[in-house]
Structure 1
């Protein structure tokens, strides 16, 4: 008995009590085989690609209970290319591009510091049936991806912001809002010390209904280290201010889920005004769903033209974490040759 008491006392002294904490490793691997030709491209590319229905990523997140309803959090997450084994979405993408932040969370909401999703990201992926894929989602292609034939994406400063402060409100009757401020981190001697990105996003969920909205005013690029957004005029890079916004929603009566968005983007120096409309539907069929979406962007200014992209596919779930998919897509741009693409792929969440 005495020995048991001594062991208990020594253990209590040597191992002080810690607040409850947890760290989890999670991510998603998505790869497809297919053939890609965007509108205006000189030819097509037959390939094994990464991210046919979702951008592949891996990371870890942790939470520590500090007591009194307050928690400390951290998230570190990196994009990856399953087809080649390289990190990032493209060459030069920083390692923890998806997330790198610490924060506090409690009854008054959450406050985070570091890199996290930009205001445009969550509203965009929640209001189209193809999620966040930059390969086959018409809305994501129009919002986030430039190519040689189309330089008028509607979100000017990436889907993630670094060097930022984010505050997310508590949920009230299904409604949450996130306020975001990104520092430009420029020397005051350069004249760019006042450059910054500011934005807000709103999410609302109520039964079969959901609604999203965001607004951004961007002066800082997010190509790794912070740098002013610029537009080249007569061979000179001129500081640029871009504004973009979107409202959208979805409705799920049970037999299908319907999506709609409308948004725009406007620039000061490049001088263009873009407006994007998208429609989508997801129809449950068997163990999967038929997916269909269309996005159309009309641009006016120094460039007048439009882009229309449509995709249709089938996503079949082998389990809650693993699915197989097939997608066809057509892409059209004013005065350019149109492009047709397809992909057959697999996605696994862990």
Structure 2
């Protein structure tokens, strides 16, 4: 009798799932290859490096029809290192994305959890890193977050449907600090428009205590003695009270060629003035970066895509010290073996001058690589990528 009752309950549960008309999809990306760095702190380096063009991941994406055009939606996305099998994003199980919400084809979606900021949604798709180059072709320090290295915890996101090619949205990340509503909060908004031969994207971000709220994996892992910035290009600004960033991207497509431009202004406001881990040079006041990049990609054939980019980053003077200046040149090729598998190659060359954020002579620092011991650095990437 107990067995019959249990069987009936299980059958009832199964019937409920079928009636809900939901779906769950398993997906992922595997990106693996060789990378040569001609000057890694004064030495040549040959290494197996993963996740350059696309972060290695597997995830679950699901939806359930709630009726009336409304759906429940969710994503759980894990990041990992294919070379060692270890978890990415500081060891988080679903460090890339983890959110749930509701969606409507007419009005858009509202989701809650760990999510990306507006620069990834509206500007990043028009930039070279996501198209053919990977994170090593981002501007030094990747201040714009084109590599999608930074995530927003405890966030509420709205993303609109497309209105004749126009989409827009915003994200608010709650700081969660008792007695101070604004501490560690992040606000990010953006919009994009695409119609035929032209595409435009723009975004704005304001992060309080960015060393903890924006650059750290999670707030509990961000202590006053931990600098979570990635490179000396901007790690000396980790004591900033506020990070304010504006991004703009344009792309024009003529036949098989697409010409693009990206511009960003990033300001690290309210540096502490106290020398330490977060402020090696003891800087006080504000620091800013202006970054511009011109890129071109050309579809030689359905299988072969070629790309090139030139970028320049100019850091402002702080406390009488000249800011760092970085020029970078990138070339890339991507060849599709099938709809899901491709081979790609990327070459990067960077030259630095001035004074970097730590108060020392600026050295070349291609993003994601060990900085150079001099003002020049070159890298070459050869890899395979599979999407499932």
TM-score range, shorter chain: 0.7 to 0.9
TM-score, normalised to structure 2, is 0.76
Q: 1: distance between equivalents of 2:387 and 2:33?
A: 15
Q: Does 1:206 align with 2:195?
A: yes
Q: 1: distance between equivalents of 2:159 and 2:299?
A: 33
Q: What is the aligned partner in structure 1 of residue 371 from structure 2?
A: none
Q: Check the 8 A contact 1:121/1:159 in 2, yes or no.
A: no
Q: Check the 8 A contact 1:229/1:240 in 2, yes or no.
A: no
Unaligned runs of 5+ in 1: 1-10, 145-152
Q: What is the aligned partner in structure 1 of residue 356 from structure 2?
A: none
Q: Check the 8 A contact 1:51/1:134 in 2, yes or no.
A: no
- Select which of 307, 321, 326 maps to 1:307: 326
Q: Deviations over 1:290-335 (max 9, x none)?
A: 1111221100032512111221021111011110112211012115
Describe the SS at the equivalent of 1:130. helix
Q: 1:43 to 1:187 in 2, by over 3 A?
A: farther
1:125 positional shift: 2.7
Q: Check the 8 A contact 1:31/1:347 in 2, yes or no.
A: yes
Aligned positions of 1:142-291 closer than 5 A: 142=140, 144=142, 153-155=143-145, 158-188=149-179, 194-219=183-208, 220-226=213-219, 240-270=241-271, 271-286=286-301, 287-291=303-307
1:285 positional shift: 2.0
1:71 positional shift: 0.1
Q: Check the 8 A contact 1:136/1:327 in 2, yes or no.
A: no
Describe the SS at the equivalent of 2:140. helix
Describe the SS at the equivalent of 2:199. strand
1:37 positional shift: 4.5
1:132 positional shift: 7.2
Describe the SS at the equivalent of 2:121. helix
Q: Deviations over 1:211-244 (max 9, x none)?
A: 1100000012352323789799xx9x85611100
Q: Check the 8 A contact 2:71/2:103 in 1, yes or no.
A: yes
Q: What is the aligned partner in structure 1 of residue 8 from structure 2?
A: none
Q: Does 1:29 align with 2:30?
A: yes
Q: Check the 8 A contact 1:177/1:202 in 2, yes or no.
A: yes
Q: Does 1:346 align with 2:384?
A: yes
Q: 1: distance between equivalents of 2:240 and 2:135?
A: 32
Q: Check the 8 A contact 2:167/2:192 in 1, yes or no.
A: yes
Q: 2: distance between equivalents of 1:69 and 1:112?
A: 16
1:112 positional shift: 0.3
Q: Check the 8 A contact 2:253/2:259 in 1, yes or no.
A: yes
Q: What is the aligned partner in structure 2 of residue 127 from structure 1?
A: 126
1:143 positional shift: 5.5
1:203 positional shift: 1.6
Q: Check the 8 A contact 2:151/2:214 in 1, yes or no.
A: no
Q: Deviations over 1:139-166 (max 9, x none)?
A: x34353xxxxxxxx35599532110000
The 10-residue stretch of structure 1 (26-35 or 119-128) with the greater mean CA deviation from structure 2:
119-128
Aligned positions of 1:99-114 closer than 5 A: 99-106=97-104, 107-114=106-113
Q: 2: distance between equivalents of 1:111 and 1:276?
A: 32
Alignment RMSD: 2.9
Q: Deviations over 1:265-291 (max 9, x none)?
A: 011123211000011111122421111
TM-score, normalised to structure 1, is 0.83
Q: 1:320 to 1:244 in 2, by over 3 A?
A: same
Q: 1:24 to 1:55 in 2, by over 3 A?
A: same
Q: 1:306 to 1:262 in 2, by over 3 A?
A: same
Q: 2: distance between equivalents of 1:257 and 1:313?
A: 14
Q: What is the aligned partner in structure 2 of residue 73 from structure 1?
A: 73
Q: What is the aligned partner in structure 1 of residue 54 from structure 2?
A: 54
Q: 1: distance between equivalents of 2:259 and 2:62?
A: 35
